Amino acid sequence: MKKYFLPATAAVILISFGLTSCGTPPGYATGTGAAIGAASGALIGAGAHGGHGAAIGLGAGLLAGALVGAAIDAENAKHYPAPRGGYPYAEPTGTPGYVYSPYGNRNVIDVRGVPHGALVRDPSSNQIFRNP
């Protein structure tokens, strides 16, 4: 029984996170990113280190997937009116494809594949900024 406890717990957590991430509005990939990150992290962790690795991989993948910035298209940008002076630009981290959010705790946001100057939603503050 103990042999299957950790993998079963990881599977239940994975499924619950997958179901709670379904409420993401159209045009945004944050919930999907969290679910995909959690699933891939759990699979990689399980393959590498068994049950304990699955739980660690699930947590790491969930956090990484949740912080993936969601590019905003023109249709959905109207839901976020521009502040005075326009949307602020994020600050590059020094690692290609990652920026510091101009809001809150300056979280690191994954903007790989997002064009320069495009609008991005910070999933932690739900505010919009421009990719530098």
Q: Read off the pLDDT of each residue in 26-44 and give the average, rounded to a whole number.
A: 53
Looking at the predicted structure, is the pLDDT value of residue 69 above 60?
no
Looking at the predicted structure, is the pLDDT value of residue 9 above 50?
yes
Q: Which domain, by its residues, includes 22?
A: 2-66
Instruction: Give the span between the Cα atoms of 36 and 110, in whole angstroms.
Output: 14
Looking at the predicted structure, is the pLDDT value of residue 108 above 60?
yes
Instruction: Give the span between the Cα atoms of 96 and 110, in whole angstroms.
Output: 9
Domain boundary among 48, 66, 84: 66
Q: Are residues 61 and 76 in the same domain?
A: no
Instruction: Give the span between the Cα atoms of 117 and 1, in whole angstroms.
Output: 53
Q: Are residues 11 and 46 in the same domain?
A: yes
Residue 71: predicted pLDDT: 73
Q: Are residues 42 and 12 in the same domain?
A: yes
Domain count, the chain: 2
Looking at the predicted structure, is the pLDDT value of residue 32 above 60?
no
Q: What percent of the chain has pLDDT over 90?
A: 24
Structural tokens at position 127: 């505010």
Is residue 81 very low, low, confident or very high in pLDDT (cuts 50, 70, 90)?
confident
Structural tokens at position 129: 């900024």
Domain boundary among 12, 42, 66: 66
Residue 28: predicted pLDDT: 42
Is residue 24 very low, low, confident or very high in pLDDT (cuts 50, 70, 90)?
very low
Q: Are residues 61 and 7 in the same domain?
A: yes
Q: Which residues does 95 contact at the CB level (< 8 Å), separation at least 6?
A: none
Instruction: Give the span between the Cα atoms of 52 and 86, in whole angstroms.
Output: 46
Q: Are residues 90 and 117 in the same domain?
A: yes
Residue 79: predicted pLDDT: 80
SS3 111: coil
Q: Read off the pLDDT of each residue in 3-9 and give the average, rounded to a whole number.
A: 69
Q: Are residues 16 and 62 in the same domain?
A: yes
